[in-house]
Structure 1
Amino acid sequence: MTSIQSVQSGRIARAFSVALLCFASFAARADDYTDVNRLVQARQYDQAMAKAEQYLAAKPRDPQMRFLKGVILAESGKRAAAIEAYLQLTQEYPELPEPYNNLAVLYAQQNDYDKARDALEGAVRANPNYATAHENLGDVYARLASQSYAKAQQIDPANTSAPPKLALVRQLLAPKR
């Protein structure tokens, strides 16, 4: 697993936690969110989804529970459905940075760094002070740089400036031990 992918998985949970704080004004429904969150943390995805779906049957436009549903889908391996859930949230609630961030994580896991970059730029537009999105954007730019340096080296094996840059970026992206 690449460093972006392994680091990004943890960022889904962090973005999820940030989203809970952003939606704190919905205290009356906090028990439902807390219950779903607890089930997700316990990796009881079927139960979490059932509770989220039950909640959304009554309040289908609730952005926080829809975000949690995206988290459940992503964590349970249903990435295409999670991408769709986050895309819908970014279209309906473009002011929320967390769906963009989680969308970027999923794109990065698919090695689609151009889409990941675009999603993270959306997160930063929505909240210029969202540190996780800035860090993730740096990771994506590093991955794109690695691909470009590798391509330059492939096209021109005599190129002496690309290999040290590629090595440096690969070192940056290497998993921490």
Structure 2
Amino acid sequence: MEPIPDLSALSLADIARLAEEQKLPPVERWNPTHCGDSEMRIARDGTWFHQGSPIGRQAMVRLFSTILRREPDGGYVLVTPVEKLDIDVEDAPFVAVELKASGEGRAAMLTFRLNTGDLVTADADHPLRFEPRDDGPRPYLRVRGELDAVVARTVYYELAQRAIDGGETPPGVWSGGAFFALEPAA
């Protein structure tokens, strides 16, 4: 697998090209028989485990992440053309660990690097949402299908600062022509 790019060094054209090159298997078209449990878990912090031990090889995590799918019942599976195995996901299967922002206001583009190395730009197809929690709103980014990334706390602080600086009411951020309010709608 390719090395994970340094997001801060990429131009918008580079980001668009890399996002376009992310060839993913057509897991939404695969409907094999359910085969059991994968004995895998994705922890709240994005760490992948197999049989209780962390998976140390990032290339393996990246590979498994490409065959991950969320089922209509809300569960998660690893799926290939011939098998489907359950996987436990504590929160969201991905973590948005880095943000590259360009432009201001309606012209802004917010691109996130995930813990798997994938790049996702927030827009109408990849919305940001903020769920209320006891410790404050928890931000999520739609990655693909029904799969989300939780936005890391440090990245959330960057989003909050952009929202404050943007002066919108309600506070929020623009990306890809879409506006995302930092607080959930009442």
Q: Please report the TM-score for the alignment, with normalisation by the length of structure 2.
A: 0.27
Higher helix share: 1
**Greater RCO (Cα-Cα under 8 Å, separation 6 or more):** 1
Q: Return the index of the structure with the highest Cα Rg.
A: 1
Q: Please report the TM-score for the alignment, with normalisation by the length of structure 1.
A: 0.28
